Structure 1
Amino acid sequence: MQIGEVLGEIRKNKNLKSKEVYKGILSRPAISRFEKGHSDTTAEKFLQILENLNLSLEEFHFLYDGNKANTDTMMISAYSEAYYAKDIPRLAALEEASRNHFDETSQIKYLHHASIIHLLRCNLSELPFPHKELAVIKNYLFHCETWHYYELVLFTNALDFFPEDAVDAVYARAKEKMTEFNQMKRYKNELFSLISNILVLQLEKNNLEKSLFYYDDLEKTVSTSDNRMYEHAMLLFFKELIGIMQQQEDTQKLTDIIQTFKLLDMERVAKQCAGLLETVRNNNA
């Protein structure tokens, strides 16, 4: 279906009159041609139509694409599952598929997927450290004048392979560039994930100063009125871990949080938290 046909179907399903959607945007003859798929419109008018339909761009893309899940999200999920399952052949197949997509389309995101998957493969095997693949991601991120959701996710997924000074530098750049998007839920969720992962690295290294710095930034990404249980639970978990580093031993809350994740059938999160707790305890024994 053409864009106009999809929008026309949405308008009719919402029982909205043409004038309620197109007034001041398209003429009556133009509306008919547009909704029949015989003509197109400008990007500016398209966005105005979406607003009049009370429809987000992301929702429209989902409907226009035949209710298919985002292909990037599907790929990230696929290689994440393969990595945690230590399925090296599956990772190799996903890397090959991504490189083939890049060769066919020249879309840089497929090269990034392939590079990250290769990094993950190296982490599970005896392959030499993939400096070339890391450089692909690092160079892209450093040359982006403005970061958006894609860059944030890319950095988060490659985080474990960056040296510490590069993590601090790239994070500072991301934080500066992302300020204007901070109120968007999607960005706040990814920012929480990014800062959490950096904080985990600092906790594992027993770096109290940087742990406090990143914890403070993490706390700012969660509104006090926000009822997202996972984020608040993780915030409390990190706070208690920092308490252990400060010789304030009280692990009951940590144990309770891990148990809560288990009760919620979040076994992987519970296992990761238990492992981090053990590392921090050993570092401060």
Structure 2
Amino acid sequence: MKIGEVIGAIRKNKNLKSKDVYKGILSRPAISRFEKGHSDTTTDKFFQILDNLNLSLEEFHFLYDGNKANTDAMMISAYSEAYYAKDIPKLAVLEGEVKNRFEETSKIKYLHHASIVHLLRCNLSELPFPHKELAVIKDYLFQCETWNYYELVLFTNSLDFFPEEVLDAVYTKAKEKMTEFNQLKRYKNELFSLISNILVLQLEKNNLEKSLLYYADLEKTLSTSDNRMYEHAMLLFFKELIAVMQHKEDTEKLTAILQTFKLLDMERIGNQCAGLLEIVRKNNA
């Protein structure tokens, strides 16, 4: 279907009159041609029409695509699940599949996905350091004068392999950009995720100074809403890990947080937190 046909179907399903959607935007003949798919409109007018329909661009894209799932999100979800399950054979299969997609389409995003999956495989196995795959991601990121959401997610997913001086240099830029996207509902927790991942690296390295720095930044991103329970729980957990580094461990609180994840059937998160706690305790024994 053409854009105008989808708009027309949405308008009719909402029982809205043409004048309520197109007044001051399109003439009556233009409306007819547009909704029949015989003509298009300008970007400015398109956004005005969406506003009159009380429809977000994301919702429209979903309807226009025939309710298709986001294949990029599905791919990220697939290799994330395989990674946290430590399923190395599955990661190898996914890497092969995405490489094939790149060869078929020449779309750079598939090369990036394949590189990320290879980095994850290296994290779980004794494969040689992925210089080639890291270079693919690093070269792309550093050639971009402006980062958008795609670049920020790419950076977040490859944090473990960047030297610390690079992380420090890029972090401010990434944080500023992520703060902009934080205003969009679907990206609300991305800044929290970025800082959390860097904080985990600093905790594992037993770097108290930088752990405190990133914890302070993480605290600023926290939503005041009670429905962001996961973020509140993780922030408290990170606070208690820093206390372990300062030799002020509150075993009761740490146990309670881990038990909460277990109670909520968040086994993967609970196991990750238990593993991180073990590393921090070992470093400060």
Q: TM-score range by the shorter chain?
A: over 0.9
Report the secondary structure of 1:271's partner residue.
Answer: helix
- Following the alignment from structure 1 to structure 2, what is the Cα–Cα distance between the partners of residues 154 and 27? 44
Which residue is equivalent to 2:170?
A: 170
Structure 1 runs (4+) greater than 6 angstroms displaced: none
TM-score normalised by L of structure 2: 0.94
Alpha-carbon distance, 1:93 to partner = 2.4
Matches within 5 A, 1:224-239: 224-225=224-225, 227-239=227-239
5+ long unaligned stretches in structure 2: none
Alpha-carbon distance, 1:216 to partner = 0.8
* Contact preservation (8 Å) 1:152, 1:191: no
- Following the alignment from structure 2 to structure 1, what is the Cα–Cα distance between the partners of residues 196 and 27? 51
Shift of the 88–245 alpha-carbon distance from structure 1 to 2, 3 Å rule, reads closer
Which residue is equivalent to 2:135?
A: 135
What one-letter code is carried by the residue in structure 2 that aligns with 1:89? P
What one-letter code is carried by the residue in structure 2 that aligns with 1:37? G
What one-letter code is carried by the residue in structure 2 that aligns with 1:111? L
Which residue is equivalent to 1:261?
A: 261
* Contact preservation (8 Å) 1:147, 1:178: no
Which residue is equivalent to 2:214?
A: 214
Report the secondary structure of 1:231's partner residue.
Answer: helix
Matches within 5 A, 1:97-136: 97-136=97-136
Alpha-carbon distance, 1:226 to partner = 5.1
Matches within 5 A, 1:1-285: 1-225=1-225, 227-285=227-285
**Any idea what the Cα deviations from partners look like across 1:20-51, whole Å, max 9, x if unmatched?**
11112111111111111222122222111111
What one-letter code is carried by the residue in structure 2 that aligns with 1:128? P
What one-letter code is carried by the residue in structure 1 that aligns with 2:228? R
Alpha-carbon distance, 1:227 to partner = 3.2
What one-letter code is carried by the residue in structure 2 that aligns with 1:269? I
**Any idea what the Cα deviations from partners look like across 1:164-212, whole Å, max 9, x if unmatched?**
2222222122123344334233333111111101101111111111001
Deviates more, 1:141-150 or 1:187-196: 141-150
Alpha-carbon distance, 1:85 to partner = 2.8
- Following the alignment from structure 1 to structure 2, what is the Cα–Cα distance between the partners of residues 262 and 8? 48
- Following the alignment from structure 1 to structure 2, what is the Cα–Cα distance between the partners of residues 221 and 194? 11
What one-letter code is carried by the residue in structure 2 that aligns with 1:91? L
What one-letter code is carried by the residue in structure 2 that aligns with 1:114? A
Report the secondary structure of 1:146's partner residue.
Answer: coil
Alpha-carbon distance, 1:231 to partner = 0.3
Deviates more, 1:86-95 or 1:5-14: 86-95
What one-letter code is carried by the residue in structure 2 that aligns with 1:258? L
- Following the alignment from structure 2 to structure 1, what is the Cα–Cα distance between the partners of residues 166 and 255? 33
Shift of the 143–66 alpha-carbon distance from structure 1 to 2, 3 Å rule, reads same
Shift of the 55–262 alpha-carbon distance from structure 1 to 2, 3 Å rule, reads same
* Identity rate, percent: 85
TM-score normalised by L of structure 1: 0.94
Report the secondary structure of 1:153's partner residue.
Answer: helix
* Contact preservation (8 Å) 2:178, 2:190: no
Report the secondary structure of 1:126's partner residue.
Answer: coil
Shift of the 281–127 alpha-carbon distance from structure 1 to 2, 3 Å rule, reads closer
- Following the alignment from structure 2 to structure 1, what is the Cα–Cα distance between the partners of residues 236 and 161? 27
What is the root-mean-square deviation of aligned Cα atoms in Å?
1.6
- Following the alignment from structure 2 to structure 1, what is the Cα–Cα distance between the partners of residues 40 and 185? 31
* Contact preservation (8 Å) 2:178, 2:191: no
Alpha-carbon distance, 1:250 to partner = 0.9
- Following the alignment from structure 1 to structure 2, what is the Cα–Cα distance between the partners of residues 107 and 25? 36
* Contact preservation (8 Å) 1:188, 1:221: no
